[in-house]
Chain A
């Protein structure tokens, strides 16, 4: 049952030729056929394309090529461009859009020999925290299908937690990797801003968006993050800094590491189970040698209000491109204004409209002057 493997375990089995990349891919596909009717992590997946990539990986393996991601199935949130594949942001406004090029992270994974597949469900345009804002289907939490998986990368988290894929990519603007990973019990990382190129990521709030990994353990997150990180001339916000071998830093003790625990994060209303889990994690970190000190981030309570200004303002500008002219769905109108307004009124879901309107308002002179 290769689909249950972690990246590192599967890479070992592939390199020893105990399992082929095609068997690994087929194992994921069979498992998707068994469980995704209940979970709905995937919007679509291209079986023929996936198997062709797996066969190509097997040829590289047969030729003696080895690598941590060679032949590993990795599924992708419906917000990243994969050449020739649909890209919809779980929205109706993209119509039948197919990407004309690969995102930089996809290019890097292809070079590493990963088998890139599937379009994972999400809140429309990554706006939401439950994946209920998808225009197509509501993803379920694999641990209890009566519950949400979190969001906006709920499809990515659910697919990894349910072993429908070995790993996945998602994106995080205001918690969209971290929160669904926590709710589904897998590992998710929002990398530092600038670490990973956003070329080929549909922009939501450009000063916050980052692409990151969803994996079954921390070592896999280290491997996948290393593969997608690094400077890219096509994203001027990516930092020209060397990428460390994150996996090499694993396994040692934490002596000399000082961790801050912001006292403002301990707020009334926190679920006792969540508080207990945080306390337990602090104990583990201390037992490994880390020093944990209480610190203060005094503006924490204003973070959400600030986010509502920054994220919606940037979203209203970024989503202006969905106007029914160059790509995506179109609703006809007597003039350009009517065509644009109808296309956007019918193509966007209500949460996207709420944020676009709010962002437009906060950027308008009436609000700025006030």
Chain B
């Protein structure tokens, strides 16, 4: 199976070196070829199961709770200024 690696790298936001592309491109194709065996499974008599533990619509009370203090939330930021995360320009 062929994968358009450049397209997937763009979707995943992952830059790869030339060596990594040469390694991973064929590997992804091989793994997808292996996964392809699922097409031959007859599941016509099998009840669809989304999950073994069917919990649905878990709600909590709509009440304000203490949240992480601003300074704590910023503590691990790689770049910050005036209490905000610094990013490259998005709009010129």
Q: Which residues of A contact B (CB under 8 A)?
A: 95-98, 100-101, 192-194, 207, 233, 236-237, 239, 299, 302, 305-306, 308-309, 316, 320, 323-330, 332-342, 344-346, 348, 350, 353-354, 356-358, 360-362, 364, 366-367
Contact = CB atoms under 8 A, between A and B. Distances in A.
Interface in B48-92: 51-53, 55, 58, 60, 68, 72-73, 75-79, 85, 87-90
B11 interface: yes
A323 B13 contact: yes
Contacts of B34: 305, 308
Given A194-B53, A339-B88, A353-B24, A344 B15 contact: yes
B18 interface: no
A236 B55 contact: yes
A95 B78 contact: yes
Please name the 6 residue pairs, one residue from A and one from B, whose CB atoms are nearest each other, closest first: A345-B15, A327-B76, A330-B78, A236-B58, A360-B12, A341-B15
Contact of A100 (B4, B17, B75, B89): B75
Contacts of A338: 88
Contacts of B5: 357
Given A101-B68, A302-B38, A353-B20, A327 B9 contact: no
Given A237-B55, A325-B85, A98 B27 contact: no
Contacts of A299: 41, 46
B22 interface: no
Interface residues of B, number: 46
A98 B13 contact: no
22 contacts: A96-B76, A194-B53, A233-B60, A302-B38, A308-B35, A309-B38, A327-B78, A329-B78, A330-B79, A336-B90, A338-B88, A339-B88, A341-B15, A342-B15, A350-B23, A350-B24, A353-B16, A357-B9, A358-B28, A360-B12, A362-B35, A366-B4
B37 interface: yes
Given A305-B34, A357-B28, 18 more contacts: A95-B78, A96-B76, A100-B75, A236-B58, A299-B41, A302-B41, A305-B35, A308-B31, A308-B34, A323-B13, A330-B79, A336-B90, A342-B15, A345-B14, A345-B15, A346-B15, A350-B24, A356-B12
Given A237-B55, A358-B28, A360-B11, A324 B89 contact: no
Contact of B87 (A306, A336, A356): A336
A29 B48 CA distance: 51
Given A194-B55, A327-B78, A337 B89 contact: no
Interface of B: 3-5, 7-17, 20, 23-24, 27-28, 31-32, 34-35, 37-38, 41, 46, 51-53, 55, 58, 60, 68, 72-73, 75-79, 85, 87-90
A233 to B, nearest CB: 6
B53 A335 contact: no
Nearest to B13: A340
Given A194-B53, A323-B13, A335 B88 contact: yes
- From B5, B14, B17, residue with most partner A Cβ within 10 Å: B14
A316 B12 contact: yes
